[in-house]
Structure 1
Amino acid sequence: MADLILHHYPTSPFAEKARLILGFKKLAWKSVLIPQIQPKPDVAALTGGYRKTPILQIGADIYCDTALICDVLEHLAPAPALYPAQGKGLARTVAQWADSTLFWTAMAYNFQPKGAADLFGKAPPEMGKAFAEDRKAMSVNMTRLRPLDAIAAYKSYLRRISDMLEGQPFVLGDAPTVADFSLFHPLWFTRVRTPSMAGILDHTPAVLEWMERMAAIGHGDMEKFDSASAIQVAAASQPHSLLVDSTFQDDHGIALGSLVTVASESFGPEPTEGELIAATRTHFSLRRRDERAGTVHVHFPRIGYVLRKVETPA
């Protein structure tokens, strides 16, 4: 099998989710550090437009969004399992809530002035401004929670997580599942990246103890790599998807082989254009060609993404 290449940056919470899962699965992986903000030309060479972090590259296959990356890693290393035999649907549902509602509540809380100072206080003023403008552009389809409204919501969510941990080490039992990794990364950002805001966690000691257990999993066997080499890997490879479901599910009236775009329905609306080669119950896949990366297949989870046909002029 080709190497696992994770394109990410250290402060990305969703990248921390992926890094921990790689450690949990005891998988070796290569680390390509990418910019926090646009432009990201080497990312675009692989994805064609999608720019959220992280992305997982395996040869000439590019997997977008941690929801889909989790499925790929589960296929590669079924044990230890992210999705428990009993409660698989519950684990996925909690993970989806954590990656959306909990995440954006935590970010609204974290990016109050003290938290922003933790992140950008020692950087030139233009860096913080550039980050704010970049994330504003990524959020055009979203209604953002106001920071003061986020305080009470975040406290309530932390109490709910604490309740889930009552009498057990992880939220669904004796072992971590995808739910734990999704719940962890927004809280990790509060504690590690915006420590001035981390006092909110002190009110739920069970959550802090659980966070220690999660952090102890570590990131596994990581090797530094560079983006130019990753693009060369793609160019020298033939796409071969590791996504196991392949039955065509047509909910759009768009045939396979059509020129389409896929884009996030909310945060990060930049579309990827290509030939539709798969539309299953779980994912979309596009074939596209790049001057540097060659022919790549770019894969997206179905939930949270919008498929549109590219209308060509008559």
Structure 2
Amino acid sequence: MPDLILHHYPNSPFAEKARLLLGYKQLAWKSVMIPAIMPKPDVVALTGGYRRTPVLQIGADIYCDTALIADVLERLAPTPSLTPPASAGVARTLAQWADTTLFWTAIAYAFQPAGLQAMFGSLPPEHLQAFGADRAAMRGNAPRMPVQEATASLIDYLDRIEAMLADGKLYLLGAQPTIADFSVYHPIWYVRRIAGLSAILERAPRLLAWADRMAAIGHHQYDKMTSTEALEISRNSTPMAVEAAGEATLLHLHGIALGDRVTITPTDYAFDPVEGELVFASATELALRRVDERAGLVVVHFPRIGYQLKSALEKAAA
């Protein structure tokens, strides 16, 4: 199997989720460090415009969003399972809540003045301004949740998670971690790293013990790789064959057929469309083929939930 190449940076919560998933699956991987803010020319060469972190590269196949990355790793290493049959539905639903509602609540709480000082106080003012401008652009300049509401909501969420760990339960849904644990963990990991603000977690001792167990999973074995090397691997690789599962039902909802020029765009933030030829559409995944002068022929994959599929003709008309 080609190398698993994770494009990430150390402080990204979703990157920590992916690193821990690789550790849980005991999969060796290559680590490519990328910028925390735009521009990200080497990332964009691979993705066609998608700018979120992390991105998983396997040869010339590029996987966006940790929801899909988790599914890819599950296919590569089915044991131990992230979605055991007895709890798969609730695990996925809880994971989706954590990756959206819990994540944005934790971010709003963390980005209060004391949190910003703790995280970025040593940076020159122009770097802090650049980071703020980048994140505002990612949100489409939508306002962040006020700190007071974020704090109140986070307290409620922590109490709910604490209750899930009652009666000696080691993980959220039982004796073994599921995808829910990894999705709930990364916002907690982020808050826990902020001096002063992490005290909010002390109200949930069972949660803190659970977080220690999650952290102990580790990141397994990885070696450093440069983005130049990753682009060379992409350029010299051929995308894996894909099967158009479910297109008869799903694609007719859009009036789009395989082979059409399309765009795929996140629906919640970082609204950067990726354009290419649609090659795959299932109930859970979309993929398009594109050519880049540096990355070569690539297939970029997205989860179905949280992304919008459109005909590229709509973009041209707009």
CA–CA distance in 1 between the matches of 2:271 and 2:246?
27
In structure 1, the residue matched to 2:159 is: 159
In structure 2, the residue matched to 1:227 is: 227
CA–CA distance in 2 between the matches of 1:228 and 1:246?
34
- Partner-residue secondary structure (3-state), 2:129: helix
CA–CA distance in 2 between the matches of 1:141 and 1:303?
23
Whether 1:21 aligns to 2:21 is yes
Distance 1:141 1:227, change over 3 A: same
In structure 2, the residue matched to 1:43 is: 43
Moved more, 137-146 or 151-160: 137-146
Would you say the 8 A contact 1:288–1:295 is kept in 2? yes
Instruction: Give the Å deviation of 1:147.
Output: 1.3
- Number of matched residues? 311
Instruction: Give the Å deviation of 1:246.
Output: 2.4
TM superposition score normalised by structure 2:
0.95
TM superposition score normalised by structure 1:
0.97
In structure 2, the residue matched to 1:189 is: 190
String of CA shifts for 1:32-66, please: whole Å, max 9, x gaps: 00000000000000000000000000000000000
1:232-247 equivalences in 2 (<5 Å): 232-240=232-240, 246-247=245-246
1:46-195 equivalences in 2 (<5 Å): 46-140=46-140, 142=142, 144-167=144-167, 168-192=169-193, 194-195=194-195
Report the AA paired with residue 181 of structure 1.
F
- Partner-residue secondary structure (3-state), 1:277: strand
In structure 1, the residue matched to 2:274 is: 272
Would you say the 8 A contact 2:259–2:279 is kept in 1? yes
Whether 1:7 aligns to 2:19 is no
CA–CA distance in 2 between the matches of 1:102 and 1:142?
18
Point out where structure 2 has 5 or more consecutive residues left out of the alignment: none
| Structure 2 residue corresponding to 1:252, chosen from 251, 254, 272 | 254
CA–CA distance in 2 between the matches of 1:273 and 1:39?
19
Instruction: Give the Å deviation of 1:244.
Output: 7.5
| Structure 2 residue corresponding to 1:261, chosen from 260, 263, 273 | 263
Instruction: Give the Å deviation of 1:195.
Output: 2.2
CA–CA distance in 2 between the matches of 1:272 and 1:49?
5
- Partner-residue secondary structure (3-state), 1:195: coil
CA–CA distance in 2 between the matches of 1:96 and 1:207?
19
String of CA shifts for 1:187-210, please: whole Å, max 9, x gaps: 100112x22210000011011000
Would you say the 8 A contact 1:141–1:266 is kept in 2? no
CA RMSD, 1 decimal: 1.3
CA–CA distance in 2 between the matches of 1:281 and 1:143?
32
String of CA shifts for 1:57-107, please: whole Å, max 9, x gaps: 000000000000000000000011100120100000000000000000000
Moved more, 34-43 or 135-144: 135-144
- Partner-residue secondary structure (3-state), 1:262: strand
CA–CA distance in 2 between the matches of 1:94 and 1:66?
14
CA–CA distance in 1 between the matches of 2:220 and 2:113?
34
Instruction: Tell me the percent identity.
Output: 55
Would you say the 8 A contact 2:20–2:182 is kept in 1? yes
CA–CA distance in 1 between the matches of 2:28 and 2:118?
32
